[in-house]
Chains A and B, each alone.
Chain A
Amino acid sequence: MTDLRVRIGELAMPNPVGAASGAFGYGEEYDGLTDLSRLGAIYTKAVTPEPRAGNPVPRLADTPAGMLNSIGLANPGLEAFVRDKLPGLRGRACAVIVNVAGAAEDDYLRVVERLEAEEGVGGYEINVSCPNVAHGGLAFGTDAAVLARLTRRLADAARDGARARAAAGRPDAARRPLIVKLSPNVTDITELARAAEGAGADALSCINTLVGMVIDVKKKSQVLAMGSGGLSGPAIRPVGVAAVYRVSRAVKIPVIGLGGISAADDALQYLLAGARAVQLGTAIFARPEAPAEVLDGIAAFMAREGLSKVEEIAGLLR
């Protein structure tokens, strides 16, 4: 019997295939285009304390087997998220992981503390790896000491929030996992992974986009208004698989793999490399049904291999 459920900390996801932050909005945008009930998790667009208009345009560029984006964490802000977006996410069958971003430590803390009181949030993905904002973002994801301090404060907030919910007799008193999303734009990603684990992270997402640039030769200018942006898509899959392979051997907490997954075999590469779950981002733009197709492919692989649990896939790598 194939059991597709996976656990991240105290959170159970119905299956290992999630929709990555930034690619799937708040889910409602894709209603009618794809069956959201088949997702394991929705990782929301980044939420910051205040609304963000985002970066100047153009924000997108086409690249070989990939794309560059420089959205700049455009989002309506924490209060509008709670008021307008969270209600639509609450009834979903999948886990709802809120992607959290900010320009300072206190920004991240404000978002997590506020959401701890709300129902319907399954966990947090801490965005310390966005290459597209001037302050915060990537800065928190490239210095192990800075990352550890931020992670510890957020882990404390998540623990306090769970206690408060338990004291109030709420049924959702389980501790919500803190998932730190790692950047590939570092010399040694395992150093950051260990720092996050040591500071109390429950899981790691691996990897965010790579810094890239496209120059229009005819115009002799950068295509993106911000100059550089984050590279995603099939082109980065081997980078992500290698990162997951190394990180999953450097830490004991679960690793969630992403970067260039379009088809079941891409996801299986990540799971064989050591990931417990995966996310699809850019592939959803090309094909909104991709997550469900990947899930079907993983289930078929498990049935073929006689596996009962997703975690067993990692053990198959020779």
Chain B
Amino acid sequence: MKRFDARITSLKAISDDYYELRFAWPAALRRPEPGAFMTVRAGGAYDPVLRRPFAFSDFRGADPDAADPGSNRSAGDGGGAEAAFIFQRRGRGTAYLAGLRAGEPLDVLGPLGKGFTPPPRGSRPVLLAGGIGLGPMLYLAARLADEASAGGFEAPILALGFRTKDYIPRVGLPPGAVVCTDDGSAGFAGSAVDWLWGFDPGAPPALYACGPAAMMAAAELYAAARGAPYQAATEQWMACGVGACAGCAVRLKDGSFRRACADGPVFDGRLVDWGA
């Protein structure tokens, strides 16, 4: 992890409310794992104080860890790598971000947190996204598609749920992605979990999800019924992002707390108290 001033390479609205921000990734930093996140400043020197956490939604470029050991790249030379996150304009922080432009700097701290682990051999990874939870699922879907044959698991299936068709991103969905809307205005009428109950994965499913608590709880019921492993990416307000302040606590069913930033943000979804 490192804090750095990144250069924004593109910022575009991808639906009525969602934005994708892409930025140059320092060559000296490792490739982020799916499920990992960053925090960014979203304002001036004094306000807002709290950095905003976002999961990586994409990463393109060489993995420095896998770089030719004879190469002589140093920090700051760019290396052409690019990372991205998707955000929803909700409050003053995200309104500020939505007003940024390509070429402007962005204060990024990352990569942070523990991401997803690969699915068991022979399983079918099933990825569920609810609303703005689509960011980490897009990145995970891309990586699992690349790694399926080497990892001995089936190609991933991605199902994305939205309130209405207005939120469906206009770009960037992988081939075969299933779109669901709560109001039936596009795709499958119902939630991504509703869709999953009627889907035959063809192999033991391995569940991955990110979305609102109700969806996460519904996914847990599916995982329990199918005996499927369930990796859940959580969302919480954060202050430090590095495990120091205990502000971003996630409550588990046994009443204990874990830090979303340092112990997660990905947890065994069967252990989390979704408040349902």
Q: What residues of chain A have their CB less than 8 Å away from a CB belonging to chain B?
A: 22-26, 29-30, 32-33, 45, 53-54, 56-67, 69, 71, 74, 233-234, 262-263, 282-289
Q: Is the interface of B mostly helix, strand, loop or mixed?
A: loop
Complex contacts, B107 vs chain A, CB 8 Å: 287
Q: A168 CA to B109 CA in the complex, in Å?
A: 47
Name the residue among B239, B251, B256 with the largest chain A CB count within 10 angstroms.
B239
The 4 A-B pairs of least Cβ separation, nearest first, read A25-B244, A29-B244, A60-B237, A74-B246
Instruction: Evaluate contact between A62 and B46: CB separation under 8 angstroms.
Output: no
CA distance A65 to B92 in the complex (A): 12
Minimum CB–CB distance from A19 to chain B (whole Å) comes to 9
In the assembled complex, the CB of B2 is this many whole angstroms from the nearest CB of chain A, namely: 7
- Measured between alpha carbons, how far is A33 from B38 in the docked complex, in Å? 14
From A64, A283, A289, B3 is in contact (CB under 8 Å) with A289
Given contacts A25-B243, A53-B257, A58-B237, contact A285 B51 (CB under 8 A): yes
Please give, as numbers and ranges, the residues of chain B lying within 8 Å of A54 by CB-CB distance: 246, 249, 257
Q: Are B257 and A74 in contact (CB under 8 A)?
A: yes
What residues on B are CB-neighbors of A69 within 8 Å?
Answer: 239, 245, 247
Q: How big is the B interface, by class?
A: 35 or more
Complex-state Cα separation, A289 to B41, whole angstroms: 14
B240 lies within 8 A of A285 (CB):
yes
Q: Which residues of A contact B239 (CB under 8 A)?
A: 23, 60, 67, 69, 282, 285
Please name all residues of chain B whose beta carbon is closer than 8 Å to the beta carbon of A24 when the two chains form the complex.
Answer: 244
Asked whether, in the complex, the Cβ of B50 is within 8 Å of the Cβ of A62, the reply is: yes
Q: Count CB-based A-B contacts (< 8 Å).
A: 107
Contact partners of A60 in chain B: CB under 8 A: 50, 237-239, 247-248
Indicate the member of A62, A66, A69, A263 with the most B CB atoms within 10 Å.
A62
Q: Given that A24-B244, A54-B246 are known contacts, is A234 also in contact with B237, CB under 8 Å in the complex?
A: no
**A33 and B3 contacting across the interface, CB-CB below 8 Å:** yes
- Chain B residues with CB under 8 Å of A283's CB are 49
Q: Is the CB of B3 within 8 A of A288?
A: yes
Q: CB distance A234 to B236 under 8 Å? A: no
B228-265 residues with Cβ-Cβ distance < 8 A to A are 236-251, 255-257, 262
Chain B interface (Cβ within 8 Å of chain A)?
1-3, 41, 45-51, 91-93, 107, 109, 236-251, 255-257, 262
Q: Give the complex CA separation of A82 and B243 in angstroms.
A: 19
Nearest A residue to B243 via CB reads A29
A71:B244 contact, CB within 8 angstroms: no
Q: Is the Cβ of A65 less than 8 Å from the Cβ of B46?
A: yes
Give min CB distance, B246 to chain A, whole Å. 4
**Minimum Cβ distance to chain B for residue A64 (Å):** 6
Residues of B within 8 A of A66 (CB): 49
* Neighbouring B residues of A62 by C-beta, 8 Å: 48-50, 91-93, 237
Other A-B pairs, 4, CB within 8 Å; known A69-B245, A263-B45: A23-B239, A33-B109, A45-B244, A57-B249
Let me know if A56 and B246 touch, CB within 8 A: no
On whether the beta carbons of A59 and B244 are closer than 8 Å, the reply is: no
- Return the contact of B41 from the options A30, A33, A284, A286 (Cβ within 8 A): A286
A30 with B45, Cβ < 8 A, contacts A56-B251, A57-B250 known: no
CB distance from B165 to the nearest CB of A (A): 23
**Contact residues in A for B247 (Cβ distance below 8 Å):** 59-60, 69, 71
